[in-house]
Structure 1
Amino acid sequence: MTVLILTCEADVTADMVVVHLHTTGVPVVRLDPADLTEGVALSGEYMHGSFRGHLSAGGRLVSINGLRSVWVRRPGTAAARAAEPSGWLTEESSQALYGMLRSSGARWMNHPDASRRARHKPWQLRHAQRCGLPVPATLITTFPQAAREFSARYPDLVVKPVSGAHPQDPPRAVPTSRVTPDTDFSAVAFGPTLLQRRVAKRADIRLTVVGETMLAARKTTAEDDEVDVRFASAASPWRPTDVPPRVAEAVRAYMRDAELAYGAFDFAEDADGTWWFLECNQSGQFGFVEVETGQPIARSIAEWLARPVPDGAGLVNGRDTVVP
């Protein structure tokens, strides 16, 4: 049975996993939904109480019922590179592709429904609280007065985007930044603003979770004002580290209840050794961590994708669970 990887052509991180799958002899088909109608084709029949579907990409034809797993890595917008792209064609192509894939019994990393919910940062923060992970005091608001009152309670704040990257092409990372003491907060009224108590951290933690496997890496903070690890100096490398038992238990609950098979968790470690939850990216990068630490993240993903298909169809990440 075949592993289907949905991602863009220039995804080097996905290449790392494909190498391991090829080594084990597991068939792999890789396609970008953006190429639908131009290089990628699909067909599905619903007849006599059964479903039969096929996908074609790169000269290869694969049965949708013959998929063992689907890795939704970094797919492009459906039909974005069609000869005559349109919003209508994108919606039709997206519903056709993902609707047919939902008709298979394949295991998902991650299921689109679970992924869509899990990407919302406000939902992440509340979910992390419920699972027992420490979350810094946070305010998301369009009320300037609420921001002023929050700042009075927590004078040392950072500001970050609610949604993540700025929606330009290509997407631009918006850094987490410290809030100056003389900030007016009047501009908060023009758009939702996320303010968070700054954690005086001694290290950044990246915890990559693949199924039941947890691989944590730690990067010592070089300077006190280095808020966003993505823009920090490269002087301190990422090194493997152990996951505290209480964190591991809470993260397992987070993954289970979020119905995720993969998650890249970011924590800030304070002087007391507490791991403060910042976010969980359900499709976060891992290549840079593997390169620096030697942790077998790509191999762990390949092994998860290569597992036999579970009994039953329409499962979410291998579990008989209905995603709201």
Structure 2
Amino acid sequence: MNILILGNASDAHASHLYSALSQAGVTVAYLDTRLFPTQIQLSWDPGSQSGWVVLPGAKTLRLQDIHSVFWRSFSGVRIPKLEDPYQEQVAFNDAISALRSLMQFSAIHWVNSWQAYQLHKEKPLQLSRVKQLGVRIPATLITNHPEPILEFVKSYPSAIFKPVYGGAHTQRITPEHLEPERLSLALNIAPITVQEYIPGTNIRSYVIADSIYSAEIRSHAIDFREDVAAQLLPVELPERVQQQCLAIAREFALEWTAIDWRLNPGGEYVFLEANPSPMFLHFEHQTGFPITARLIQLLQS
């Protein structure tokens, strides 16, 4: 059985899973897309859906012989620098199109899929679809216009802001953020996501196929990812919330995900985000949940 890991050995999670798969007797290799097309070769016949990929070290795999790919990180492609910028853009488009076609090849089991990855990048759409499932989400505004932000902030005891796409931590909105010149300057650069602040406790639920592992994250930080001292305490979700976890995973075509919740003082679970390629090593180490073992089972299924 051939399994690929989308990523490279410099990533601790990719390296960990590589070692675990190897110890399980699986033939595993990295698919580092930064090496395409300079060090990785790809051939594909759309008619017969046959083809092969040649990895660094001349390891050749028929596409039909690749059982599954674990999506850890996608770094795009790296085109050699060309003197003509137009030709360089054409080369980039050709390379990324060929790679995207491989990443949507139906005979390969992707964990997770290209479609799931794309939806994760559109977080406002993700929130909308979760709301349609009947799951509570925070009051949210995406905008680059100052006046709606000022009105929004007046409507709630406290509010936070974060990037629309991701890549930076959540912050609580302060009067300094709302100073007209500072706010206008920031919004002329990019829109932001503004949300009501939900008091309560952070809960993270890992969903792997039909298994759910959850823990309370005790932290005083607005964004617990900033808190290296955060405590992880295993919890059992109510049956209704477990069903919501599974429904969210199905809605986003996620075979494996981490769902972040906020449990408010009234006992209500509020959805924040579902990540298609979450970090898990620290969580697994602190809780003892068999995340690695379940991922290996999923990739072999």
Structure-1-length-normalised TM-score: 0.82
Question: Which residue of 207, 210, 220 maps to 2:208?
Answer: 210
Structure number with the bigger relative contact order (C-alpha 8 A, sep ≥ 6) is 1
Q: For residues 251 and 266 of structure 1, what CA distance do their matches in structure 2 show?
A: 10
Aligned partner (choices 223, 229, 234) of residue 224 of structure 2:
229
In the aligned structure 2, how far is the partner of 1:306 from the partner of 1:130?
Answer: 33
Q: How does 1:230-309 map to 2 (within 5 A)?
A: 230-232=225-227, 234=229, 236-307=230-301
- 1:108 is matched with 110
Amino acid aligned to 1:193: I
RMSD in angstroms over aligned alpha carbons?
A: 2.2
SS of the counterpart of 2:49? strand
SS of the residue aligned with 1:95?
A: helix
Structure 1: gaps (5+ residues): 166-173, 308-324
Aligned partner (choices 88, 91, 96) of residue 89 of structure 1: 91
Asked if the contact 2:214–2:234 (Cα under 8 Å) also holds between the matched residues in 1, the reply is yes
Structure 2 Cα separation of the partners of residues 274 and 74 of structure 1: 33
User: Alignment identity in percent?
Assistant: 29
Q: 1:52 to 1:256 in 2, by over 3 A?
A: same
Query: Is this contact kept in 2: 1:119–1:281, CA < 8 A?
Result: no
1:1-324 to structure 2, matched below 5 A, reads 1-45=1-45, 49-59=47-57, 60-79=59-78, 82=80, 86-165=88-167, 174-181=168-175, 183-184=178-179, 186-187=183-184, 189-190=187-188, 191-201=190-200, 203-221=201-219, 223=220, 226-232=221-227, 234=229, 236-307=230-301
Q: Per the alignment, do residues 246 and 140 of structure 1 end up closer, same or farther by CA in structure 2, a change over 3 Å counting?
A: same
Task: Label 1:42 to 1:141 Cα distance change in 2 as closer, same or farther (>3 A).
Answer: same
Residue 240 of structure 2: SS of its match in structure 1? Answer: helix
Aligned residues: 291
Amino acid at match of 1:154: Y
Q: For 1:148, give the aligned amino acid.
A: L
Counterparts of 2:75 and 2:147, CA distance in 1: 40
Change (3 A) 1:19 1:273: farther
Q: 1:322 maps to what in 2?
A: none
Letter in 2 for 1:23: Q
- Aligned-partner SS, 1:93: helix
1:75, distance to aligned residue in structure 2 (A): 2.2
* Alpha-carbon contact 1:64-1:104 (below 8 Å) kept: no
- The runs of at least 4 consecutive aligned structure 1 residues that moved more than 6 Å come to none
Superposition TM-score, scaled by structure 2 size? 0.88
